[in-house]
Amino acid sequence: MASYRAAATLIARYLARHEFVEGVYLHRSVATGEVSFGQSDIDLLLVLNSPEQGAAMASEMAQLFGDVSRLLRLHPGLLHLQIHDRQGLARWIRTDSYRGWMECYTARLAAGRASEFLPPSLRRRDALLWFSFTPGLFLSTAVRLASKRDQLKIATEMWSAYEFYRGWIETPDLTRGQAQSRAIQKGEPAGLLRAMADAGEALKFIAELAEMLHADLLPRLAPLDEPLVFRAPMPPRRLEQCFILLPAKRFRLPDILGESLEPWAILATPELLHLYIKYVQPFSYWYMPPKVLKLGISPPDLLDYVRSCRFFLQDNFLRNAGFAHMYPRAPGATVAVAEYALPYLEDGLRPPVPSEQQLLAFFEGPDDIYELYGRHFERIYWQSRRHLERLEGIAARMESGSQTADA
């Protein structure tokens, strides 16, 4: 742990030498002390010293990418950066109250000047996004690399999100150790306790958890008899995505051939995919094949589209290119999909499936990270800000109407 902290602090000081960097923080596992030597990323959060009129910081982002490229030559894949401007940090914490609250209590300043981390009012619903998003982000990689450690990590974080959503804990767990200690004290859930004793049981527990939450929230699905592998667009993030769908009873090794998994594939049971579509990627419903829809996967609600757009338009997601992934077209596609959907959402309509020409146009853009920040990012950033203002207005009206109806 000490070596990770020392390396992270040195990198933080190197990045903080720029005048436009306000502060660099240790976050996630490096901040909480739950690292595994040689496996954990060095997770850093940067806050840019950005005046309102220059908040896009396009040329500065290109400089940071050059720094990170040099650092990654020392250890490819070790460094993960989350980058905010001042306004974006505050907006992200408000929008994603579950992760934002955790960041407010765990981020540790490593270099530069401290920024304001104001804990948000917690919304239990925000935990549903991370319950569904965490396996979508990391599970196929954990299985492909045969990392039982990461499979247990994902299972623990999903259980913690589930407990918070159900109201069984007052605030989110700040560490996985908290969730696991509570499970040991309570003697449940049995699935997590099995996975803690044998991490090979983690996949089975993930499938059980997805079935439990799905039963609480969504219509029952027809059984999937055999595994289903397909490719489909997944806007706003990818033009083509590999999906691997397995029955819950077969969601385990060796039924999943980990070494054959593509990087970033979506590995899921039908229930987990349904949750992922509703709470994370509603636009992917457009492209689900008939075999999947026949299971009974229901179309997302209008508010699901609004919340997804607001989530992916946050400034840290727009700045992920070059720092968390190498897809320079993703920021522009995110803005383009939101721009397409907004008129329909403002009229109270579900966005219809775009034409093939429109879909391809969403993903037109730079092929190079330097080109993204040098020529396109300023426009993308300010478009995202305008879209967010409209989306926040739509969300406020929808949520107010929902509360009135509930009353």
Q: What is the mean pLDDT of residues 54-72?
A: 92
Closest to 235 in 3D by CA, of 337, 344, 305: 337
Closest to 228 in 3D by CA, of 284, 286, 267: 267
Which residues share a beta bridge with 234? 238
Q: Are 352 and 344 in contact (CB under 8 A)?
A: yes
Q: What is the mean pLDDT of residues 163-174?
A: 97
In order of 130, 166, 201, the CA distances from 160 in angstroms are: 10, 10, 17
Instruction: Output the six-digit token pair for 57.
Output: 């910081």
The pLDDT, as a whole number, for residue 406 is 38
Phi, psi of 45, deg, nearest 5 = -120, 125
Burial per residue of 2-34, b for 16 or more beta-carbon CB atoms within 10 angstroms, e otherwise: eebbebbbebbeebbebebbbbbbbbbbbbbee
Closest to 125 in 3D by CA, of 96, 82, 157: 96
Confidence of residue 40 (pLDDT cuts 50, 70, 90): low
Burial per residue of 232-268, b for 16 or more beta-carbon CB atoms within 10 angstroms, e otherwise: bbbbbbbbebbbbbbbbeebbeeebebeebeebbbbb
Distance CA 299, CA 150 (A): 31
Closest to 17 in 3D by CA, of 116, 112, 113: 112
Higher pLDDT, 262 or 381: 381
The pLDDT, as a whole number, for residue 200 is 85
pTM attached to this predicted model: 0.94
Q: Using CA of residue 18, residue 19, residue 21, residue 23, what is the dihedral sign?
A: positive
Statement: residue 53 has pLDDT above 90 = no
Q: Which of 146-155, 252-261, 297-306 has the weakest average pLDDT?
A: 252-261
Phi, psi of 37, deg, nearest 5 = -55, 130
Q: What is the mean pLDDT of residues 312-336?
A: 96
Statement: residue 324 has pLDDT above 50 = yes
Statement: residue 407 has pLDDT above 70 = no
Give 5-27 pLDDT, tens digit per residue: 788 899 999 999 999 999 999 98
Domain with CATH 3.30.460 in the chain: 1-112
Find out if CATH 3.30.300 is the number for domain 1-112.
Answer: no
The pLDDT, as a whole number, for residue 399 is 85
Q: What is the mean pLDDT of residues 358-376?
A: 96
Average pLDDT, rounded, for the chain: 92
Confidence of residue 39 (pLDDT cuts 50, 70, 90): low
